[in-house]
Structure 1
Amino acid sequence: MKFAHEFKETLERECFPDHWLAAAIPYSQLKKCLKKVQRELESLGLDKETLQQLLAEQTVSPNGEPIPLVRYNLDHASSRSLRPCLSIFVHLRHGQVIDAALSPASRAFLQRLSGAHSRPSAIDSSACTTPLATPSPDVSSDDNDEDTEGELERIEVPLVFDGEFFNILQTDVDSLDALQQQEEKSMEAEIKSLGAEVSAVVGPPKRLAKSDLNRWREIFDLYVNAQVFFSSHELDHGSRSSVKAVQQLVWFQKQVQTRGLLQSFKVPSSAVAYSRFLQLNATLLQNLKFQEINKTAITKILKKFDKRTSLGASVTFRSAIRSRNFLAGSVAKKLCAQLSQEVVSTVPRAEDYDCPICFSIAWYPVRLRCSHLFCVRCVIKMQRENKKHCPLCRDEGVMNADLNNIDKSLEKFMKQYFRKETEEKQRANEIERGMEIFGDQYKHSSCVLM
């Protein structure tokens, strides 16, 4: 299936909003314009084969530097529009183009341009309209005729339709930039609103009060493990494609359903918040698909441009184009970071408060003078072994830690949000302490009041 049909079908199949479709790359229009560019070049004797031959050859400037015979640049004529410039470097002898690599038609065309615009000056590699230099004045004209290939001159080929082609492309990239910026602002506002809604239903569990903290914690643990839009795994590290993102999002939803987390919600507004969370991910996924298909369209049309003209526009365009959002990166990257900060982080995760030594929750939390956090048992062990340095930053503050280093506010926070984890860690600490005092035969049992 040709890409033009695939592009059109994808835009229709995905049911993108109408204002998105209006901003999509006009692939068919660009293809028609490309045909005009090809015909224009061929009418000047600069067909694909001739340009390939010229691009493969080099000449030498008067100061001895090698330069290509053909150069194609995309400069900004204004703040918005691109000005393509095709320059050909030719040798003139007595005002006649003598380069053997040129076809007769191309030589005759460049001969006319040379006669109309020739004026000797120094080579300027940064400008596309400056003719090239004459040979060194130390060489006489007679010697020049016999010993050199003639004067080297830069001739700018006046083209019309390549300018039309690239200005269409630049205009549409600008439209996609504006659209993406608009969508980002809309989703940023939605993320903030959702974060506030989730915060309202995930307060710490209280006696006789309903809370969905544990269910939301499990949901977000599944979401983090799904890594829908980005992977931190070594084998596939980086941004996900839309196809892979769909697979990961489906896996996440199935896990939530399998565990019956939705049915166990105690607060009615939790179900509403979860629906908004899924819709936000769906919108982000749709945006990713739209970005992918349009980027592919740009890549395909530039590849087709190069194939029909041999001018190497794929590299030139990407270096000249001004794209703040659309081509600069993925919309998913920025918004996923905000989603994590504004929504997922509203539900505290025990892993974020692990002791870096024992890798379980840092209970009781001891904060050294260097601000690093450890559980009380690990700090006591370090002090017994006379280990003075913080394992993370090597600050000599371990031996100075005492009861004043217990982080009381964090202790209260852990009791509220991680009751199960802190109770398990407390029990493990008591068992370990008992074994230190009474030996390996020690068995822990809770006190019973009679």
Structure 2
Amino acid sequence: MKFGKQLETEAEDIPSEWRPYLIQYKALKKIITRVAEEIESRGLSASLLHECLEDSGNEESFAIHDNEQDHDNDSIPKIKYYFIGEVPNVKPCIEFSYDPSEPKVQQMLSKLLISSETPNQDADRPKLEYKRSHNNKDIFSLSSSINSGEEDVLHSPAFTRQRRDSTVQLVKELVKLTLAERDRIKDSHEHEDMTERTESMERGKLKTLVIELEQDDEFFKLLLAELDQAAKLQNVTSQRFEEDINSLELCMIKAAAPTQKSEMYHWRKIFSVYMDAQIFQGNAEADRTFRSVERAKRQMTWFVEQLNKQDLLKKFKTKESKSAFEQFIALNTELITMKHYQVLNQTAMRKILKKHDKRSGLTASQSFPELVSTEQLFSPKLAGMLYATITSKLTSIIPQPDDYACPVCMNVAWRPIRLRCDHVFCVRCLVKAQKKKMNGCPLCRHPTAVRDATALNLDEGLQNFLKLYFPQEIKEKKRDNEREQAIEDIQAMTGKKYSEEQLMRMSQQSHNKCLIM
């Protein structure tokens, strides 16, 4: 499937109000045809331009050669495609720089002077339009619609006609000479003496010929206008998205309040599944990459399926929770849509610039993205930032047990003891460590953090927080602590040590009813 048709198909997944802000691929494609026709109609070859500009882009590779070769490279006419002005008022240009004192350039110019005296065989071919000169720089345009009165003011008719008639042939010869000289330097190992070459360069003064591309200018004006509209839509959507996140936060505070214990635990389970889904970004240290649109959609589908399998949505009892969940799903769906919109625009721009370069022989795909800072416009970090905002908001509203677990037993750190090194352990694990004469912190290896801990190290603020948000976990932790203490008491009274299997059997028997009574 061609990309134009693919773009139309995938645009159906984008909200209707966003579709006008997609890059108009077909309209730009039509202008590319006019750009290519404009260049070819003025006698320039797209294939030769591409070859010259491609070599010019690799000029830095020549700089690693010896000094003699560098001087030889300086004798080559330079061809450059670039943009002048600032966004959004930029114009594409082709610039030819050459040294008229170079022997081969002089020879070429003399041939052009002789050929200009002969009748022009291509009289019907449109010529380049001379516009102005400044500091050894002659500026031409590919436009054929110049005002005749304006032309008379600029220069005399004879002078202007002479420049028009010779410029196309001059550009052709400069292109051919550039390619021939570069091929010769790449293959040749014999160089002229450095002193003679330096003197030649001192004698010569570079002259520049600039061609302004009118149809190319129209192409980039349209592309820049569309990118500007896309950037505005992205900014507006991002601001609205952040407002919706704040609104969801307020709803969640009411729906998952600690006073609503059953709702809070349902939300905690949902959020745990959501984090496991890793819809937008990986959670593991080995995989922090941003997900593609296709994978984000798959993970979102998996998340909803898991909720349905566990019947978590049916367990909501309040309207606030149901409304908050719908808003939560809508936010994630919109974030995937925004990411999809970004990818479509980014792909459309890359494809259209590639087609532009292929048809015209120019190199816009190399310089244009840097000009408009497309990294900010199409950066996946935007979706990542919004996703991080969602997760941070939910984490603050519905804290997870793993974030408050004792690093030894991995359960909620009930009766939290904060050591002098600021690490937190449950009181049970800390007492065990002190009995085993462990003096240092097991995390940071502080030499006396465990030994010096006392009841004064109890973090009462954290204890009240845990009691408020983790009542079930604390109840289970208390039961485990009581069981461990009972086993220790039995072992102290009997003087025997029991195996894990015996302890499990004893634990099961303690729950059985008395057969006599």
TM-score normalised per structure 2: 0.70
Q: One-letter code of the match for 1:378?
A: C
Using a 3 Å threshold, how does the CA distance of structure 1 residues 254 and 66 change in structure 2: closer, same or farther?
A: same
| Range moving further from structure 2, 302-311 or 381-390 | 381-390
Q: Is the 8 A contact 2:343 2:378 kept in 1?
A: no
Tell me the CA shift for residue 325 of structure 1. Answer: 4.6
| Range moving further from structure 2, 318-327 or 90-99 | 90-99
Using a 3 Å threshold, how does the CA distance of structure 1 residues 70 and 168 change in structure 2: closer, same or farther?
A: same
Q: Is the 8 A contact 2:419 2:449 kept in 1?
A: yes
CA distance in 2: counterparts of 1:79 and 1:148, whole angstroms: 37
CA distance in 2: counterparts of 1:366 and 1:199, whole angstroms: 29
| Range moving further from structure 2, 147-156 or 313-322 | 147-156
CA distance in 2: counterparts of 1:382 and 1:309, whole angstroms: 75
Aligned match of 1:78: 86
Tell me the CA shift for residue 50 of structure 1. Answer: 0.8
Tell me the CA shift for residue 330 of structure 1. Answer: 4.3
CA distance in 1: counterparts of 2:456 and 2:360, whole angstroms: 76
Structure of greater relative contact order (alpha carbons < 8 Å, 6+ residues apart): 2
- Equivalent position SS for 1:270: helix
Tell me the CA shift for residue 430 of structure 1. Answer: 3.6
- Equivalent position SS for 2:425: strand
| Range moving further from structure 2, 389-398 or 165-174 | 389-398
Aligned match of 1:402: 454
CA distance in 1: counterparts of 2:106 and 2:480, whole angstroms: 91
Rg larger in structure: 2
Using a 3 Å threshold, how does the CA distance of structure 1 residues 303 and 168 change in structure 2: closer, same or farther?
A: same
| Range moving further from structure 2, 28-37 or 295-304 | 28-37
Report the number of matched residues.
Answer: 416
Q: One-letter code of the match for 2:16?
A: P
Tell me the CA shift for residue 267 of structure 1. Answer: 1.9
Q: Is the 8 A contact 1:72 1:87 kept in 2?
A: yes
- Equivalent position SS for 1:231: coil
Q: One-letter code of the match for 1:377?
A: R
Which has the larger share of helix?
2
The superposition leaves residues 308-360 of structure 1 with CA deviations (integer Å, 9 ceiling, x where unpaired) of 23332222112111458522444321211111122354112111101223322
The superposition leaves residues 201-233 of structure 1 with CA deviations (integer Å, 9 ceiling, x where unpaired) of 21225xxx6741111111111111111111235
1:7 and 2:30 matched: no
1:155 and 2:154 matched: no
CA distance in 2: counterparts of 1:163 and 1:238, whole angstroms: 38
Match of 1:286 among 331, 337, 341: 337
Q: How does 1:294-305 map to 2 (within 5 A)?
A: 294-305=345-356
Q: One-letter code of the match for 1:354?
A: A
1:424 and 2:432 matched: no
- Equivalent position SS for 1:88: strand
1:203 and 2:201 matched: no
Using a 3 Å threshold, how does the CA distance of structure 1 residues 323 and 300 change in structure 2: closer, same or farther?
A: closer
Q: How does 1:31-430 map to 2 (within 5 A)?
A: 31-55=29-53, 56=55, 64=71, 66=73, 69-75=78-84, 77-78=85-86, 80-93=88-101, 97=105, 117=133, 119=135, 144=200, 152-204=206-258, 211-233=262-284, 237-322=288-373, 325-395=376-446, 396-430=448-482
Structure 2 runs not aligned, ≥5 long: 117-124, 138-194, 492-496
Q: One-letter code of the match for 2:271?
A: F
Aligned match of 2:191: none
Tell me the CA shift for residue 114 of structure 1. Answer: 11
- Equivalent position SS for 2:51: helix
Percent of aligned pairs with the same amino acid: 31
Q: Is the 8 A contact 2:87 2:372 kept in 1?
A: no
Q: Is the 8 A contact 2:136 2:208 kept in 1?
A: no
| Range moving further from structure 2, 192-201 or 309-318 | 309-318
- Equivalent position SS for 1:173: helix
Aligned match of 1:16: 15
| Range moving further from structure 2, 265-274 or 173-182 | 265-274
- Equivalent position SS for 2:100: strand
Q: Is the 8 A contact 1:355 1:373 kept in 2?
A: yes
Tell me the CA shift for residue 199 of structure 1. Answer: 1.5
Using a 3 Å threshold, how does the CA distance of structure 1 residues 397 and 66 change in structure 2: closer, same or farther?
A: farther
The superposition leaves residues 351-405 of structure 1 with CA deviations (integer Å, 9 ceiling, x where unpaired) of 1101223322212211122322112233233334444443444444332211111
CA distance in 2: counterparts of 1:149 and 1:308, whole angstroms: 39
Tell me the CA shift for residue 116 of structure 1. Answer: 7.4
Q: Is the 8 A contact 2:408 2:429 kept in 1?
A: yes
Using a 3 Å threshold, how does the CA distance of structure 1 residues 385 and 54 change in structure 2: closer, same or farther?
A: same
TM-score normalised per structure 1: 0.80
- Equivalent position SS for 1:182: helix
Using a 3 Å threshold, how does the CA distance of structure 1 residues 379 and 258 change in structure 2: closer, same or farther?
A: same
CA distance in 1: counterparts of 2:96 and 2:479, whole angstroms: 82
Using a 3 Å threshold, how does the CA distance of structure 1 residues 151 and 344 change in structure 2: closer, same or farther?
A: same
The superposition leaves residues 273-304 of structure 1 with CA deviations (integer Å, 9 ceiling, x where unpaired) of 11111112122222121111111101111111
Q: One-letter code of the match for 2:475?
A: E
- Equivalent position SS for 1:239: coil
Tell me the CA shift for residue 181 of structure 1. Answer: 0.9
Tell me the CA shift for residue 115 of structure 1. Answer: 12
